[in-house]
Amino acid sequence: MSGYQDRLQGTDRLLRIRRIRKAVFAGLLALTIVLIFARLEGEGASLKPLFLPVNGILEVALIMGLTTSIVGLFLRNLELRNVLRDNQRFLMAKSSMTRALRTAAFAIGLAVALLLAITPSLAATLLSDPPQVVSLLPNSREVVTFTSPDPLGLTFVTYAAVSVTNGSVSVSVMRDNVTVAAPKVLTSTQRAVLDIEPSMWADHATWSLVFRNMQNASTFLTFVLQKGIVPTLFSTVPFLVFLYGAVQIGWWVVLRPIRERTKVTSLRSAAEIDSGERLYDPSAPIPDAPTLAREDRMTSSFVDPPPPIPSAPPPPPRPAPVMRTPKAEPPRPAPRAPVREPETADSLVRKAEALVATGTYEAALTGFEEALRLDPAYVPALRGRATCEERLNQRSDAVETHRRILANDRRNVDSLRAIARLQMADRHWRECLEAVEDLLRVRPNEAAALEMKGDALSNLGRRPEALAAYEAAAAVDPDDENLRQKIEEVRVDVPGLLSRALIASATGNYAKALSLFDEILEVEPSNVNALIGKAVAYRRKGKPQEALNCLDLVLGVQPGNASALLNRGNILLEQGDAEAALESFERLTQLYPNDEEAWTAQGDVLLRLGRDDDAHQALTEALRLSPGDEGIQRRLLDVKAAKVDSSEILLELIEVKGVGRARAKALIDAGFKDPESARRWRTFDDPSKFLSSAVPSTPSHEGVSD
């Protein structure tokens, strides 16, 4: 029943986390013991003679303690997330913060003490041996033996300082009965310093100082074994202790928002209990009935029991009771409604994550925003909001949300990677490059980030840098075929090929130009400049349909490309499709209203279509943008003159007998200049023959620009 009750109360997950915590800590302890044994074996530890280097034990223990502290912080945070009540969460966070703060203060204080410059010299002075005096008989030999380092590996002999009072003495140093320094002869008042292990000991060894008297007289010498403390005790160990203290401070920083967030709810719960709320305790004993209490009273065995109570006579019959109206019972107090705990940012995030799992991203986004209203810096809520915005195709909002995450955690790899990916999807190459650079500062050897950097640089036209980025990515992931293809593509000199192709097209070598354009398009199928150049080459070669196909590809990539629209309109005008050409020029003037060439081309097409008023407006706008253009001025004068001449001839032709307004306009369009030519038209048996012999006077505007 206990397991079923735990599941009902929601505490089974918490118990499971605590079991996992115990198992993880036990595994880390076992791993620590194994690593300590391996370290001792690597440093030559032994029991006989006793040699157990403490520095190896301290380093392994501190490293594993640091790891255990980080894992413990993760598991404690997991426990806090699965605790059902805020008062429990508050007490757990408070106790952990107090313990972490005390541990951090002790660790940082110890690290500072070990890092002080006076500490190694003071320790070496305290542990060094006092001077020793050796008396040598004439021509005698004396050997002084010592071990280095000490059995605990804390101190080792660095130098041996020898001084002779009188006579002449030869001094040599031996390690495990092997001479390591040539004998040195010292005379009276001379002093020598012999190297034993200046920097640090390598293995546990037995050392000997061999003194030999070189004269026939007795002599005395004095030697001092100068010792040093193991260097890692004042470099590696304080660094690890300082890191351990920093991790404990990290505990305090991470748990403080949880403590502050649950403090109010915890105090409210305590106030309600103190104000008189009764709590049911199933383990409390049930008090006995009053009759049982009387039976439990003790009686003295020396007193006679009381006489039996005589039976009372039967009571007389009672009269029938008179029915009375029962008194109204006072109203019972309404049962107290259970107090619901307020929603927290963590509970709202868990509900929103469940909605994300079902695919209801809009409702999940609302839940994450509600959690952020309670705690604007809650990273899980920000991460979930960014995920929903990406799924809902709200890329700009997702980028801003990821930037809020980075404001709290500058090294958040997921957010850095997401910003780069979103900027690449929107073809914002400069912003993408900045985001990838930030990502590579955290993950310098990530192949995907290097590839994105190469893509951004390639689209920005910085091809040598893009090649370097692709090659760096290929060095990390040599099996990626896509990277190899990109390297081959970026090695092609696209600007050089484009320059050669344009020169070939301008000089009339269209076959070579088209071949060079095709080489560029094989590497970059969406290269707009190559497609426009290829269209111009096709047009000059007399293949307008192929040119239009190339320009349609350009407009598919860039619908507002000015060069493509202008060339497309000119080609359509050459083919006689003035309506389609006018459509291209009108779109061009809408997109680029300050382009006088577009207005001029539109005016020419309108003249072709006989829309003189519209042509006049278009040419006027072109002249406003380019006041000194003589060609535009000449076109405007022609349009004005044609309008004046046509109106005068129209009135004269209407007066001719048999010519109405419609026929007069048709005659003007056919090229008749005066009423006399209209009278001659009536003398023809077949007027259509005369109309075919008339010479049109409407100017022709070719003006096709590449």
Determine the pLDDT at residue 9.
Answer: 45
Mean pLDDT in the chain?
75
Structure letter (DSSP) for residue 668: H
Cis peptide before 333 (omega within 30 of 0): no
Determine the pLDDT at residue 419.
Answer: 92
Q: Which phi and psi angles does 425 have, rounded to 5°?
A: -65, -35
Reported as type and span, the H/E element at residue 409 is none
Q: How many C-beta atoms lie closer than 10 Å to residue 605's C-beta?
A: 27
Q: How far is CA 421 from CA 448, 538, 673, in A?
A: 10, 38, 70
- Token readout for 277 is 């709320």
- How many whole angstroms separate alpha carbon 42 and alpha carbon 53? 11
Task: Report the alpha-carbon angle 60-64-70, nearest 5.
Answer: 155
Determine the pLDDT at residue 31.
Answer: 92
Determine the pLDDT at residue 702.
Answer: 37
DSSP assignment of 551-565 equals HHHHHHH-TT-HHHH
- Token readout for 515 is 């071949």
Determine the pLDDT at residue 336.
Answer: 60
Class of domain 122-232: mainly beta
pLDDT in tens, 121-179: 665 666 667 888 888 888 888 888 888 887 777 788 888 888 887 778 888 888 888 88
Q: Which runs of consecutive H residues, i.e. helices, occur in 333-446?
A: 345-358, 361-374, 379-391, 395-408, 413-425, 429-442
Determine the pLDDT at residue 644.
Answer: 54
The ranges of the chain with pLDDT < 70 are 1-12, 84, 117-128, 264-341, 491, 493, 641-706
- How many whole angstroms separate alpha carbon 491 and alpha carbon 635? 50
Determine the pLDDT at residue 287.
Answer: 47
- How many whole angstroms separate alpha carbon 547 and alpha carbon 539? 6
Reported as type and span, the H/E element at residue 30 is helix 12-42
- How many whole angstroms separate alpha carbon 246 and alpha carbon 65? 13
Domain boundaries, the chain: 2-118+237-268, 122-232, 345-491
Coil vs helix vs strand at 224:
strand
Is domain 345-491 annotated with CATH 1.25.40.10?
yes
